[in-house]
Structure 1
Amino acid sequence: MPAPAQTPISKVALAGAIGTTIEWYDFFLYGTAAGIVFDKLFFPRFDSLVGTLLAFATFAIGFVARPLGGVVFGHFGDRVGRKTALVVTMFIMGAGTFLIGLLPTYDSIGIWAPVLLILLRIVQGVGVGGEWGGAVLMSVEHAPEGRKGYYGSWPQIGVPAGLMLGTGVYALLSSSLSSAQFLDWGWRIAFLLSGALVIIGLYIRLQVYETPAFKAVQEKQDQARIPIVELLRTSKLNLLLGMGTRMAEGIAFNTWGVFAIAYTTTELNVSRTHALIGVMVGAAVCIPMIPVWGAISDRFGRLRVFGLGTVLFGLSAFPAFALFNTGSSLVIAGTLVVTLGLFYGAMYGPQAALYAELFPANVRYSGVSCVYQVSGVFASGLTPLILTSLLASGGGRPWLMSVYIVAMSVLSLVSVILIAVLCRRIGAQTPQPVPVLQS
């Protein structure tokens, strides 16, 4: 019986970009709502700062749940296949987001409102925790040699595209409705829209065949019996160094894409619509830059490009907040174009191929998921909470936040350098899943 035809890589890349855009729209929609809606509707008995902290705490819970999704669906992705795991996680994610749009508020059901909000945020976290690894591997493992950075970057487009879509929907609703209408029912429209988007995403993903790398593992009957155990046995060093590189990338996105909205609207009195548009413009610029940086990594190496991104992030911290503090909507939007639109992609573009190259195919889904999702608890989920706390500790001035960003950038840069040193020892241009890099 002839083997099924391979899906053209262009179709795989496009499917990855559309699918992850829908997934991340769902996930980051919560972050936007946490900064401007949930503190008022689900934690109304606290003052503004405490309510924001509680809303961002529930935002962080989604990231705490993501490692669970990464381990569970990493297991099935390495045992059963990338495609099956992707379809299931998209359904889970969409259901959680849609149900948030139907939730009664604190005024209606009291304490059960935030409890149910937290439970649905956990559902979101499990869904996206299992989805990311499969999405990037579908592109990386279908891609030809020498183009894995470029094609692997296409699912990464989903992060800024999902953010742009989510903030764009909120900006439209915010500008077309009164504040009372927006808080009463308008915010729900963005969450309910997820139902239609998920149907589109499921249809697209069902059109893509399984990856050649996983088929080869199946043919050799080389699936790990318990992938997470095999991963920890053979690749602990890869995991730790990968997580170290992830800190700067996760903090960068959640600083400029999530926290910036709450900071500019709450502390600087910038209008909600202008803040949302600023982030939306920065995300729009980031979308084409991600595959550009991915292609550059094919030419000059993942580590060089990723390392450059960490340096740019660290150097931009103090100037960016100084520019924010001008209070000018135009200046803030321009700052986000540079930090989120241009600099961030240098890390996120080559990331998928970089992490895939750290692990052998039979534990690769589990490997990339654990690197991305476990580190994401600290690098992404806690970032808005940490920055809000540092802002309060700094008396409302951003200098402590900038120090934190610089410190985490240094940590990621050191991790990149250590991977480069290990690669040099084995004569590899990129980190390969070979014994020297496994512990």
Structure 2
Amino acid sequence: MSNAIDTSPQAVTTPSGNSKFRIILSSLVGTTIEFYDFYVYATAAISVFPMLFFHSASDTGALLASLATFGVAFVARPVGSVVFGHFGDRVGRKATLVASLLTMGIATVVIGFLPTFYQIGIWAPALLAIMRFCQGMGLGGEWSGASLLAGENARKGKRGFDSMWPQLGAPIGFALANGFFLFLTVSMNYDSTSATTNHTFLVWGWRLPFLFSSVIVALGLYVRFKLEETPAFQVSKQRGEVVKAPVAAAFRTSWRQIIQGTFLMLSTYTLFYLMTTWILSYAIGKTEAGFLGIGYQRFLIVQIITICAFAVTIPISGWLGDKVGRKRFLTGTTAAIMVFGLTFQFFLDPARVGTGASADIARITVFMLIGMALMGLTFGIQSALLPELFPTNVRYTGSAVAYNVSSILGAAVAPFIATWLATTYGPGWVGVYLIAMGACTFVACLTIPETKDRELDTIGREAVEMVPEREMAAID
């Protein structure tokens, strides 16, 4: 094996082909596309799919069935993290990022062409679930690759801020997806509280956001094909530390970090899907089912406005994570999320907020602004923190598995559990659910080391040395 190249941390520099602008654009554009595709489905799962893909005797039953397919993607995400994590740690970050983007984009476009239940019967929800699984596979590999692309090219002492660019893809993708749906529903005069299945929007209009994904996927591929490999992976490769089985190596050497990372993301996932998916179903659902009965267009405007709080607080999170440390900052933010859980009954009780046209939109907007601001604060630093827990040769796999296993515990079931709690016991119990998830994250925060001043190239070096020599890939 060649030792002619200096592989010390001091020798690691950003490859000349990866300019700062290209790194930012590649990590941001990719996750924007991924989250756009994901949110297009999330929005349709509430406002479209219950009527077109699921036959049920009750509106609540159809909604719960639709939310179940929404959760399929979260089951697929750990599978995607294993598959893409293997190639990300074995082959490299660049090629894996391209593959994850293609997987997500193709599945989203296919959904735009699917026939409905009224055309092919039970095959419609079955095909929808399969495509949803493919979406989850793609997203399972996307986030970690984009975070590593940003973090492994970050400036010294600025990794928290430089790593937050992929996180901005979440609010941007959310705004694009919901903005598209808002434009279509307004231009097509669609009212979710009274529309029937023969309305133009439900016949073909809902398909356009899914088909548009092909355009932005092409843009993302163009940007990513111009990337060069990250310096940290190049150094790991030059040292001969690339392993043949990254998944096995990650669970052997970094199983504690995987568990810690899983619970670090738990309250983040729960909060976000309460603030986006569940709140949409609760707000626009029919009053006779215990929901608020607000018009879809009216509430969508609230979501698009309040997502700005999410976008603004993400860079603040990265900056504060560099200033005060990841551990201290995330611990404080998690405590604030738990306090926020106490306010659900005050802000969302139908007896207080009202229903239908008389609903107090100002009260709901304040609730959404607080929730979205807290979401940005807890989410922004995670793209730096989770990868910092793992050595380079299993960093893609370890961070991806932790991030996506947490998606099952914190996101896949969150809209379903929250819907059941709200209809059975009232919205206050949804807040109790958030508090319980926050408590799990709070405990995880207490168990992790502070990583803001550690070099990525030296993190977990003792773990690398524990990997049996026979599992190392001999790469010259």
The TM-score range, normalised by the shorter chain, is over 0.9
2:311 to 281, 287, 309: 287
2:77 to 66, 77, 86: 66
Checking the alignment, whether the CA contact within 8 Å between 1:307 and 1:347 is kept in structure 2 is: no
Partner of 2:371: 339
Report the CA distance shift for 1:436/1:19 in structure 2 as closer, same or farther (over 3 A).
closer
1:116-127 aligned at under 5 Å gives the runs: 116-127=127-138
Partner of 1:244: 263
Are positions 1:315 and 2:334 aligned together?
A: no
Matched residue SS, 2:265: helix
Matched residue SS, 2:113: coil
Shift of residue 136, structure 1, vs aligned partner = 0.6
Mapped partners of 1:169, 1:320: distance in 2: 29
Shift of residue 161, structure 1, vs aligned partner = 1.3
Checking the alignment, whether the CA contact within 8 Å between 2:180 and 2:209 is kept in structure 1 is: yes
2:221 to 183, 190, 202: 202
Letter in 2 for 1:244: F
Worse overlay, 99-108 or 306-315? 306-315
Shift of residue 324, structure 1, vs aligned partner = 3.1
Checking the alignment, whether the CA contact within 8 Å between 2:160 and 2:381 is kept in structure 1 is: yes
TM-score of the aligned structures, taking structure 2 as reference length: 0.87
Mapped partners of 1:105, 1:35: distance in 2: 16
Matched residue SS, 1:224: coil
Mapped partners of 1:9, 1:152: distance in 2: 12
Mapped partners of 2:19, 2:366: distance in 1: 38
Matched residue SS, 1:193: helix
Mapped partners of 1:190, 1:157: distance in 2: 20
Over the aligned positions, Cα root-mean-square deviation in angstroms equals: 2.3
Mapped partners of 2:125, 2:201: distance in 1: 19
Are positions 1:268 and 2:292 aligned together?
A: yes
Unaligned 5+ runs, structure 2? 6-13, 191-198, 286-290, 354-358, 467-476
1:17 to 23, 28, 35: 28
Matched residue SS, 2:342: helix
Partner of 1:110: 121
Unaligned 5+ runs, structure 1? none
Shift of residue 4, structure 1, vs aligned partner = 5.8
The C-alpha deviation readout for 1:253-308, integer Å capped at 9, x for no partner, is 10001111111111101110122121212222211321121011011111122122
Report the CA distance shift for 1:157/1:210 in structure 2 as closer, same or farther (over 3 A).
same
Partner of 1:419: 448
Letter in 2 for 1:363: V
Partner of 1:399: 428
Give the number of equivalent residue pairs. 432
Checking the alignment, whether the CA contact within 8 Å between 2:15 and 2:230 is kept in structure 1 is: no
Checking the alignment, whether the CA contact within 8 Å between 1:69 and 1:130 is kept in structure 2 is: yes
Partner of 2:327: 303
Letter in 1 for 2:304: M
Mapped partners of 1:51, 1:203: distance in 2: 40
Letter in 1 for 2:443: V
Q: When you count helix as a share of all residues, which structure comes out higher? A: 1
Mapped partners of 1:290, 1:97: distance in 2: 27
The C-alpha deviation readout for 1:329-363, integer Å capped at 9, x for no partner, is 232223212211x2111111110110111000000
2:51 to 33, 40, 46: 40
1:374-393 aligned at under 5 Å gives the runs: 374-393=405-424
Mapped partners of 1:86, 1:134: distance in 2: 6
Matched residue SS, 2:390: coil
The structure having more radius of gyration, on CA atoms, is 2
Shift of residue 435, structure 1, vs aligned partner = 5.0
Instruction: Report the identity percentage.
Output: 35
Mapped partners of 1:216, 1:111: distance in 2: 51
TM-score of the aligned structures, taking structure 1 as reference length: 0.94
Letter in 1 for 2:90: R
Checking the alignment, whether the CA contact within 8 Å between 2:267 and 2:438 is kept in structure 1 is: yes
Partner of 1:87: 98
Partner of 1:177: 188
Mapped partners of 1:434, 1:419: distance in 2: 17
Mapped partners of 2:175, 2:267: distance in 1: 21
Letter in 2 for 1:390: L
Checking the alignment, whether the CA contact within 8 Å between 2:390 and 2:459 is kept in structure 1 is: yes
Shift of residue 10, structure 1, vs aligned partner = 3.4
Mapped partners of 1:40, 1:219: distance in 2: 55
Checking the alignment, whether the CA contact within 8 Å between 1:235 and 1:437 is kept in structure 2 is: no
Report the CA distance shift for 1:382/1:231 in structure 2 as closer, same or farther (over 3 A).
same
Partner of 2:471: none
